[in-house]
Amino acid sequence: MTDADQDAGGSAAEQMPFAQDHPLQPAPRLRALQQRGPVHRVRTRTGDEAWLVTGYEQVKALYAGDRLGRTHPRPDRAARLTESALFGGRPRENFAREDADRAWFKEILHSVIAPVRLREARPWVDAMVRDLLDDLAAAPRPADFVAKVALPLPTMVICRILGVPAEDLGRCLRLTEAIAAAGDEARSSAGLADLTDHLAQVVTDRRAARDGLLARLRGAPYRLPAPVIGHIGASLMFTGHHTTVVAIGYGVLLLLTHPDQHRALLAHPDRLDAAVEEFLRVGNVGVNTGGGNGIPTYARSDLDVGGVCLRANDLVLLDTGAANHDERVFADPYRFAVDRPSNPHLTFGHGRHYCPGAPLARLEMQALFAQLLHRFPDLRLATGLADLRAHDDQITGGLIELPVTW
């Protein structure tokens, strides 16, 4: 039996998550697996078996088609990635209605973050960035960039889009953190229920801003009941803020650990959009503590992926971080280069499964880095790389702290 056969079909399932030596590089075990082939048998932290797809071509093709779904016909028997209530835990949505439910959800989201709406959003996002950077400038040094900027910005943005009152921000943050708990199903489920109830109550009490998504869902043409609006709001608050917090943290870390690229960007601010894409490509490694891209999907039928046979309803994990470092697509993939000419990374998924929040996440990162570079050209790390710690107890991972000085 070859190594590849053993990975793919034999009994040697690799235990995840894989330990990373360096916060910005894929785990050595993951890298070794990727060298061997595009599909691997793995065991998740819940003890279930799954397939980990690491090849760019295979990840992209699976995203594009309809061969994977997020639901399972028997959720109680579905293999799991983590204990989280939202992503990674037991699939919750209805198997038969999955496609219709997702299309509807995307349409709703599109109504608030369509390109025209995003153009309107840029000035208030810029103002939020300015205020946060004012606070950072006034803070004692060293300061924690995660607490001061990376965490509050996406939270403030998604709360504004939903129309959640500013005074509720702290509470929403605590509850989304609970939802992300990777190893504690009770805490995660309670967090999701509390956030859903809380947002439903905001709607019932008419405290939601009139131009926010929550209030719109109450009015025509949707006229949804408050508990359903609460659930949509909680899902969006979670997906819309955690991922972006993590991406900002790794983006800043990449910049501060690559002084030549930092200088190049200061000298050529017109490269900012390309740099944000490179932050997203490289900063996506090891982000999701459970493994893969952190989002469990299930084969809708028997599949052949890269010559490996997957069975219907098998758990399939698409590793976008590994795919983003596939040398068949990215020249010198382990090099962080702000002027990479072509950067078709899969951090936001692809095709049918492309993240509907990607334009908003990009807008937030572009707005933040534009001002950060200009106002803090001397920003630098205030700790050694070895002392940086990532959340291994949350499904979205991310840096716990990022001490900086200037």
| Binding interface with ligand HEM (CB under 6 A) | 102, 105, 109, 158, 236, 239-240, 243-244, 247, 293, 295, 297, 347-349, 353, 355-357, 360-361
What would the DSSP string read from start to end of 35-50?
A: HH-SEEEEE-TTS-EE
Whichever of 33 and 59 has its CB closer to ligand HEM, that residue is 59
Min separation Cβ 279 and ligand HEM, Å: 9
Min separation Cβ 217 and ligand HEM, Å: 14
Q: What gap in Å lies between CA 51 and CA 41, rounded to an integer?
A: 5
Burial class (CB in 10 A: 0-12, 13-18, 19+), 121: buried
Whichever of 191 and 349 has its CB closer to ligand HEM, that residue is 349
Q: What gap in Å lies between CA 97 and CA 392, rounded to an integer?
A: 33
Whichever of 189 and 244 has its CB closer to ligand HEM, that residue is 244
Min separation Cβ 74 and ligand HEM, Å: 20
Whichever of 4 and 346 has its CB closer to ligand HEM, that residue is 346
Q: What are phi and psi of 63, to 5 degrees?
A: -65, -40
Residues near 274 by beta carbon (within 8 Å), at least 6 away in sequence? 338, 339, 340, 343
Contact 182, 88 (CB under 8 A): yes
**CA nearest neighbour of 59 among 232, 241, 360, 317:** 317
Min separation Cβ 64 and ligand HEM, Å: 11
Min separation Cβ 14 and ligand HEM, Å: 21
Whichever of 150 and 338 has its CB closer to ligand HEM, that residue is 150
Name the closest residue to ligand HEM (Cβ): 357
Min separation Cβ 17 and ligand HEM, Å: 18
Tokens of 306: 């890269």
Whichever of 96 and 186 has its CB closer to ligand HEM, that residue is 96
